[in-house]
Structure 1
Amino acid sequence: MKLLSWNARGLGSPRAVRRLRCILRLQNPQMVFFMKTKICKSRMERIRHRCGYVNGIEVDSEGTRGGLCLAWKWGVNVTLRQFFKRHIDVVIDDDEAKGKWRFTGFYGSPYERNRNNSWEELRSLYTGERFHWFVCGDFNEGGVPRDERRMEVFREVLADCGLMDMGFSGRWFKWERGNLPETNIRERLDREVANEDW
């Protein structure tokens, strides 16, 4: 199964939706996880349908922040476990993989004061089941040098859940701001983690 995780940073403009449709046509994933849609559920549902995904779960944005969607094509067997404003948790019965596996799309709080709540939410998803478990999304942790204690807390959360970083290929950063060398910021906020069974 081909899965795409998309940090949309807003799907409110027609230009963003056209770009999204073009990328989805090129990549043709069976399932897509969108985070930071910044739009209401009903609008995201319309966009999902326009992109050719008949099934999905939308989570409302909070004003101009957040918003999640998990979309999948016809023929993909998805069972919803739970969702909340920061995650969508499902089980996928995958013919290609010859079995069931668990997917969690996660969006950590962008605010440091709420980060512990995000980590407790992630910890609450850990069940200890012997499922292949894959978690991806924007954890809003990592990238430019951080307070070592904050990074240690993030590592502890992953360890408590039995999750390991899956690594990456290509550029080490997935987000960039600023054109001048002295003001340029590059970060790797979006991550893919999985348990040992995966």
Structure 2
Amino acid sequence: MDLACPNQKGKIWIFWNADIQCQILENEDQHITCELNHVECKEKYMISFIYAKFKDHLRRPLWEKLMQLSDKDIPWCTIGDFNVITSTEVKQGGVPYNMNKSFDFLSVIEACGLMDLGNSGHHFTWWNQRATEARVWKRLDRAMTNDKWLEHMPQTTITHLPALGSDHNPFANGNSY
């Protein structure tokens, strides 16, 4: 990796090679959004790297920003820890989940025209690292794209790798440029 950029609090880092032109469009507390262009490709792409706040009300500025970004007429991918689930099927263990906590996120996904890429590998991406009887698993991390992204890169895949030294499973992107 030749170049790097952290977000304001150093909780999100992005790295890229010199053959990628990267223009940082937004560098905020919960996301870094950049426009990327590979030297061998004339198309530009936008990617938002996400690390959302844990509390519902603190995520709202991120949701508003994603709504603004969705207006751009460019292939767009959002990827990272959204810290909220989309259905009860992506949570196992603990107390029953109140889906009211997800309605804002689900509304943003729909309004932005985003589609979850799904994944291979581990179904859940986070766990609370507690003993078996108190263990909770959730899929908090995801990659979502707009139609234009899939038109240009329909081969995009996401694999959740094993968690080593973290409570989250890292991503591996199967895209080739």
TM-score (norm 2): 0.71
Deviation at 1:72, TM superposition (A): 0.8
Tell me, yes or no, if the aligned pair for 1:94 and 1:101 is still in contact at 8 Å: no
Q: Which SS does the other structure have where 2:148 is aligned? A: coil
Aligned partner of 1:85 in structure 2 is 29
The one-character-per-residue Cα deviations of 1:85-124 (angstroms, maximum 9, x if unpaired) are 1111111112565521111111211122313233122222
* Structure 1 residue identity aligned to 2:16: W
Q: Which SS does the other structure have where 1:193 is aligned? A: strand
Question: For residues 77 and 21 of structure 2, what CA distance do their matches in structure 1 show?
Answer: 16
Question: For residues 133 and 142 of structure 2, what CA distance do their matches in structure 1 show?
Answer: 26
The answer to whether the aligner puts 1:158 opposite 2:109 as a matched pair is yes
Alignment of 1:160-179 (within 5 A): 160-179=111-130
Aligned partner of 1:134 in structure 2 is 77
Aligned partner of 2:170 in structure 1 is none
Question: For residues 97 and 188 of structure 1, what CA distance do their matches in structure 2 show?
Answer: 33
Deviation at 1:154, TM superposition (A): 1.1
Q: Residues 146 and 117 from structure 1, CA distance in 2 versus in 1: closer, same or farther, beyond 3 angstroms?
A: farther
Aligned partner of 2:145 in structure 1 is 194
The answer to whether the aligner puts 1:57 opposite 2:5 as a matched pair is yes
Q: Which SS does the other structure have where 1:197 is aligned? A: helix
CA RMSD of aligned residues (A): 2.0
Tell me, yes or no, if the aligned pair for 2:127 and 2:135 is still in contact at 8 Å: yes
Deviation at 1:190, TM superposition (A): 0.9
* Structure 1 residue identity aligned to 2:75: H
Question: For residues 8 and 105 of structure 2, what CA distance do their matches in structure 1 show?
Answer: 26
Percent of paired sites with the same residue: 27
Deviation at 1:179, TM superposition (A): 4.8
* Structure 1 residue identity aligned to 2:61: N
* Shift >4 Å, 4+ stretches: 95-98
Question: For residues 70 and 127 of structure 1, what CA distance do their matches in structure 2 show?
Answer: 23
Give the unaligned 5+ runs of structure 1. 1-52
Question: For residues 74 and 151 of structure 1, what CA distance do their matches in structure 2 show?
Answer: 39
Q: Which SS does the other structure have where 1:182 is aligned? A: helix
Q: Residues 76 and 169 from structure 1, CA distance in 2 versus in 1: closer, same or farther, beyond 3 angstroms?
A: same
Give the unaligned 5+ runs of structure 2. 150-177
Alignment of 1:1-198 (within 5 A): 53-61=1-9, 67-95=11-39, 99-129=43-73, 131-142=74-85, 143-144=90-91, 146-198=97-149
- In the alignment of these two chains, the number of paired residues is 141
TM-score (norm 1): 0.64
* Structure 2 residue identity aligned to 1:169: S
Tell me, yes or no, if the aligned pair for 2:8 and 2:28 is still in contact at 8 Å: no
Deviation at 1:162, TM superposition (A): 1.3
